[in-house]
Amino acid sequence: MSDAPVLFHTLPAANGMQLGVATLNSEKTLNALSKEMVQLLGKQLQAWDEDSSIAMVVLQAAGEKAFCAGGDLQNLYASMREHHASDKKDDLLGNAYALDFFEQEYRLDYQIHTYRKPILCWGHGIVMGGGIGLMAGASHRVVTEKSRLAMPEIAIGLFPDVGGTWFLNRMPGKLGLFLALTGASINASDALFVKLADVALPHASKTDVLTTLQAAAWSNQTYQNHQRLSQILHEFSAQSSDTAGPLRSNFDLINRLCSPADLPAIVAQLLAVDAAQQEEHPWLQKAVSSLQKGSPTSAWLAHALQERGKHLSLAEIFRMELVAALACAKGHDFAEGIRALIVDKDQKPQWLPVSLSELQPQDGERYFTHLWAAEQHPLRDLGASENMQKAAA
């Protein structure tokens, strides 16, 4: 097998059509999303979009452990260390690598969200951070008995980016905020409940699904191909069980705990969850522990982004998240979180500030500053066609 970070091939299908197959191919890193992977995926998706013989795209990953465990943090960490030691350390735009990485990653995520043709994402195994960024926008998202999804950025001093402000805000009740604050992982059943997935299938059925897709009567009408794919997946999922996961089982409790208007009160209520409840639900205990150990700044930022992003378009949210990501790269906690978790692996991050009470209002403004005029923003073209349609209406 090629050692290319993403593999591409096509499968012949009925009516002379083809299926485009993209495979994340970095099994040793749990298919962590590198800048090269982002570039390769974006280019090939564009080519397949323009190829009239491609009926749909399958996005999958090598190995059995993970679809994608997140972004490639090693290179980001190196760029932050270099930036922090340079004479541009006070410049939010001083880290050229971080700007390039986040811009291209968010651009790819938006491309998937707005792709004309059906994209079937097979989210088997670990799907975290940047992996959810790839999966969230796909038109047809499959999870399996081994799927574990999470946005665990609070553990590394970042925030749920890759459009997290968009899809977390659209989950039932306060579940999106809870997942952002705790980084809790969810299973296939809960992924369906919070609308991060569309269908739960046994991983063993994948070969049969692909065989059926090849035999399907695809057309040159995109909307018909979307319907065809939905029908096929529905037929395969007819026998799936619908046992509630821990997130759904604790829905009322989580809603109550996350109901206060201000973040300190929410955090206080989560950390004060009854010991008996935590013992009865180990998943909840782990979630509360992650919040307690996580970056206070990340918690504040995740909450602030969801508040500010409630009525923004997807394109506006990606533009807002890009500024916040660059501010994180310039700050202390993001590099410190990566150091503690991945580099030194001492699991003892030294957050600054150490608590929400020490975070001053002015400290948060840098995450929402206007780095560019609207016409100069690196992601200014996202949603351009939507804006033109609105103007013409």
363 has catalytic annotation: no
Residue 142: strand pairing partners: 122, 199
Q: Tell me how many degrees the CA angle 383-387-393 measures, rounded to the nearest 5.
A: 145
CA distances, 31 to each of 148, 174, 334 (Å): 14, 30, 21
Residue from 326, 328, 318 nearest 380 by CA: 318
145 has catalytic annotation: no
Buried b (16+ CB within 10 A) or exposed e, 248-259: bbbbeebeebbe
Two structure tokens written together for 58: 């399958």
- The length of the chain is 393
- For tokens 């495979």, name the residue: 23
How do beta strands 18-24 and 199-200 pair?
A: unpaired
Determine which one of 70, 94, 130, 131 is catalytic.
130
280 has catalytic annotation: no
Two structure tokens written together for 279: 């013992």
Percentage helix, strand, coil for the chain under 3-state DSSP, each rounded to 5: 55, 10, 35
Identify whether the C-beta of residue 225 lies closer than 8 Å to the C-beta of residue 219. yes
Determine which one of 105, 109, 161, 198 is catalytic.
161
Determine which one of 71, 123, 137, 157 is catalytic.
71
309 has catalytic annotation: no
CA distances, 356 to each of 101, 114, 267, 295, 365 (Å): 29, 37, 9, 9, 15
H or E element that contains 334: helix 333-338
Determine which one of 72, 153, 321, 333 is catalytic.
153
Identify the three-state secondary structure at position 202: coil
As annotated, the active-site residues are: 71, 130, 153, 161
